[in-house]
């Protein structure tokens, strides 16, 4: 299929920051073949012509960290520390909420939202309750296949006893609670690796390369060292990105000191797993020594500023990490911690929150740095730095058209600033992934959005009943977790990432 976009303004996001006031974009198959004024369509090609006058063409956004598994939790929580909110966010473990169809519908909810907002690619760190199955994995992957989105998907799964994951939790529990935690079933590392091997065989490179598999340990303290190393072996063997939530909260900083003899970043480094495939998620409570280790390793960081705010986790020092040469992408994280997948809002919030994290205004990161993280940074985290994140011949035809006749761009003073500070996704007129137009004029072209929403709404009475039972149990179990959180908050870790610090 050949498509040509005529007479559009183009923001390439390339190394030279090239812009075209007026140009055509020729797309052949899934790839951009040419950008320039008055291009000629190849002879004999039956091309679709898109009028781009008054529009801006730019790379599609990349949601660098996302959990499709929490999509039913929009508006479900007022906000609480991670250590508390995780007690309540386990999805129901009963039928139909473990079925292929449910995982498909739930994931499709995110696909529809993201594509309409101009997010063409996502790194989905999907967790499964009570454990991953072929049905749950395939339901998630099929949604991305049918929706037309580019996706890199993991299995974010724990395989150690709950009370080992937080500092001081074990001694604060009753004997009955400890016994109950020890009795909770989880898959062995080898069983999880077998599921990963099957997932890679079925889905890695599917849909002409639009779908990919990555690996995830969730967090270093949530898995055995043997399983962690097994994931590292898979990552190296197949050149897969490797997700790890590291030092998201102050309690995790304390846990590293108490259980791992210091930094969790150092622990991962010493295992030989901190490398260019690793994507460190959050990295809020990291310090200068860790930034040097991360920079030397070539790893990337997934920055989730709205999630960090709703959880009260703190403010990641974006400028300091970037100045160390650490690649950064932007993510919306969970629906329980950022109630939308709106990456435009995430970037604006991230850029603004840095202004209360540093006194010297001359060091505040410019909006353009966040725009880069939303595009090129995301492509880098997906191990597609040579294929995505910018508009250029030979690159993925993953692009969006922004209507410049909207209030967000009237008057137009500075394109990059207004993309970050003024745009909220409502100006997205067209979304293209791998050369296919998947959303246009506010409508999805790949799936029946109304039917998907109706089917999900029909599940809500049973879903709400099951979640009510989960929350009642969470309230009963909360006191020792609150003590862990408050104790960690009072510890001196040598620095602070809170605004009052």
Residues 147 and 190 both lie in one domain:
yes
254 lies in a domain? yes
Residues 28 and 106 both lie in one domain:
no
Position of tokens 């960090």? Answer: 308
10 Å Cβ neighbour count for 300? Answer: 27
10 Å Cβ neighbour count for 90? Answer: 17
Residues 19 and 118 both lie in one domain:
no
492 lies in a domain? no
CA–CA dist 207, 203 (Å, integer): 8
Residues 220 and 272 both lie in one domain:
yes
DSSP state of 445: S
Beta strands, E only, 274-420: 278-282, 300-303, 328-330, 399-403
Residues 85 and 173 both lie in one domain:
yes
CA–CA dist 124, 142 (Å, integer): 13
Indicate the length of the chain as a whole number.
Answer: 501
Residues 24 and 88 both lie in one domain:
no
397 lies in a domain? no
C-beta of residue 393 within 8 angstroms of C-beta of residue 33: yes
CA–CA dist 159, 184 (Å, integer): 10
164 lies in a domain? yes
Is the whole-model pTM more than 0.85? yes
* Those residues with Cβ within 8 angstroms of residue 63's Cβ, 6 or more apart along the chain or in another chain: 114, 119, 121, 122, 123, 330, 331, 332, 341, 343, 378
498 lies in a domain? no
491 lies in a domain? no
- Give the distance between the most distant pair of CA atoms in the chain: 77
- List Cα–Cα distances, 299 to 23, 133, 141, in angstroms: 36, 30, 26
Q: Domain of 45: which CATH number?
A: 2.30.40.10
DSSP string, 483-498: HHHHHHHHS--S---S
CA–CA dist 445, 440 (Å, integer): 7
Helices (H), 410-448: 415-421
Residues 25 and 72 both lie in one domain:
no
Residues 284 and 205 both lie in one domain:
yes
**One digit per residue, pLDDT tens: the chain, 501 residues?**
899 999 999 999 999 999 999 999 999 999 999 999 999 998 877 899 999 999 999 999 999 999 999 999 999 999 899 999 999 987 777 778 889 999 999 999 999 999 999 999 999 999 998 889 999 999 999 999 999 999 999 999 999 999 999 999 999 999 999 999 999 888 999 999 999 999 999 999 999 999 999 999 999 999 999 999 999 999 999 999 999 999 999 999 999 999 998 899 999 999 999 999 999 999 999 999 999 999 999 999 999 999 999 999 999 999 999 999 999 999 999 999 999 999 999 999 999 999 999 899 999 999 999 999 999 999 999 999 999 999 999 999 999 999 999 999 999 999 999 999 999 999 999 999 999 999 999 999 999 999 999 999 999 999 999 889 889 999 999 999 999 999 999 999 999 999 865
CA–CA dist 56, 309 (Å, integer): 31
Residues 31 and 70 both lie in one domain:
no
* ω into 411 cis (within 30 of 0): yes
Range of the domain at 15: 2-53
**Which residue among 353, 384, 415 closes a domain?**
384
**Which residue among 349, 384, 419 closes a domain?**
384
C-beta of residue 146 within 8 angstroms of C-beta of residue 447: yes
Residues 183 and 36 both lie in one domain:
no
175 lies in a domain? yes
For residue 38 the two structure tokens come to: 């008055």
**Three-state SS sequence of 151-189:** EEEEECCCCCCHHHCCCCHHHHCCHHHHHHHHHCCCCCH
Residues 150 and 182 both lie in one domain:
yes
CA–CA dist 98, 106 (Å, integer): 11
Residues 34 and 155 both lie in one domain:
no
**Which residue among 344, 367, 384 closes a domain?**
384
CA–CA dist 154, 173 (Å, integer): 32
Q: Domain of 313: which CATH number?
A: 3.20.20.140
The predicted pLDDT at position 96 comes to 84
Number of domains in the chain: 2
- Identify the three-state secondary structure at position 125: strand
- List Cα–Cα distances, 143 to 146, 351, 416, in angstroms: 5, 32, 32
457 lies in a domain? no
C-beta of residue 234 within 8 angstroms of C-beta of residue 213: no
CA–CA dist 204, 206 (Å, integer): 6
DSSP state of 91: P
């Amino acid at each position: 299929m050949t498509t040509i976009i005529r007479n559009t303004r183009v923001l390439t996001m390339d190394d030279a920051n090239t812009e075209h006031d007026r140009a055509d974009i020729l797309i052949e198959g899934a790839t951009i073949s040419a950008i320039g004024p008055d291009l000629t369509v190849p002879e004999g090609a039956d091309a679709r012509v898109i009028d781009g006058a008054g529009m801006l063409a730019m790379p599609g956004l990349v949601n660098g960290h996302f959990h499709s598994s929490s999509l039913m939790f929009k508006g479900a929580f007022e906000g609480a520390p991670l250590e508390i909110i995780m007690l309540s966010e386990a999805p129901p473990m009963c039928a139909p909420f473990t079925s292929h169809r449910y995982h498909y519908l739930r994931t499709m909810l995110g696909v529809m939202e993201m594509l309409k907002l101009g997010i063409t690619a996502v790194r989905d760190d999907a967790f499964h309750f009570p454990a991953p199955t072929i049905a749950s994995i395939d339901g998630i992957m099929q949604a991305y296949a049918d929706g037309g989105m580019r996706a890199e998907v993991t299995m974010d799964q724990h395989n150690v006893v709950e009370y080992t994951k937080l500092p001081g939790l074990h001694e604060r529990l009753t004997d009955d609670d400890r016994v109950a935690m020890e009795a909770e079933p989880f898959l062995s590392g080898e069983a999880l690796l077998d599921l990963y091997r099957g997932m890679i065989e079925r889905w890695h490179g599917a849909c002409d390369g639009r779908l990919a598999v990555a690996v995830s340990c969730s967090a270093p303290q949530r898995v055995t060292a043997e399983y962690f190393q097994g994931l590292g072996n898979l990552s190296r063997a197949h050149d897969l990105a490797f997700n790890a939530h590291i030092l998201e909260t102050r309690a995790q900083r304390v846990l590293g000191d108490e259980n791992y003899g210091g930094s969790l970043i150092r622990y991962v480094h010493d295992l030989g797993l901190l490398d260019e495939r690793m994507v460190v998620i959050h990295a809020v409570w990291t310090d200068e020594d860790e930034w040097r280790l991360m920079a030397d390793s070539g790893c990337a960081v997934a920055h989730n500023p709205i999630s960090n705010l709703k959880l009260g986790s703190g403010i990641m020092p974006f400028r300091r990490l970037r100045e160390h040469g650490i690649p950064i992408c932007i993510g919306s994280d969970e629906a329980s911690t950022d109630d939308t997948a709106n990456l435009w809002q995430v970037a604006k919030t991230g850029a603004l929150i840095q202004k209360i994290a540093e006194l010297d205004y001359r060091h505040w990161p410019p909006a353009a740095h966040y725009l880069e993280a939303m595009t090129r940074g995301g492509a880098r985290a997906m191990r597609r730095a040579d294929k995505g994140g910018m508009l250029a011949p030979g690159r993925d035809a993953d692009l969006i058209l922004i209507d410049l006749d909207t209030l967000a761009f009237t008057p137009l003073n500075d394109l990059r600033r207004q993309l970050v500070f003024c745009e909220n996704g409502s100006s997205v007129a067209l979304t293209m992934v791998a050369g296919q137009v998947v959303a246009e004029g506010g409508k999805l072209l790949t799936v029946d959005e109304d039917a998907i929403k109706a089917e999900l709404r029909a599940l809500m009475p049973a879903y709400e009943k099951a979640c009510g039972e989960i929350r009642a149990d969470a309230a009963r179990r909360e006191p020792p977790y609150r003590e862990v959180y408050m104790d960690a908050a009072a510890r001196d870790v040598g620095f602070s990432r809170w605004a009052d610090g």
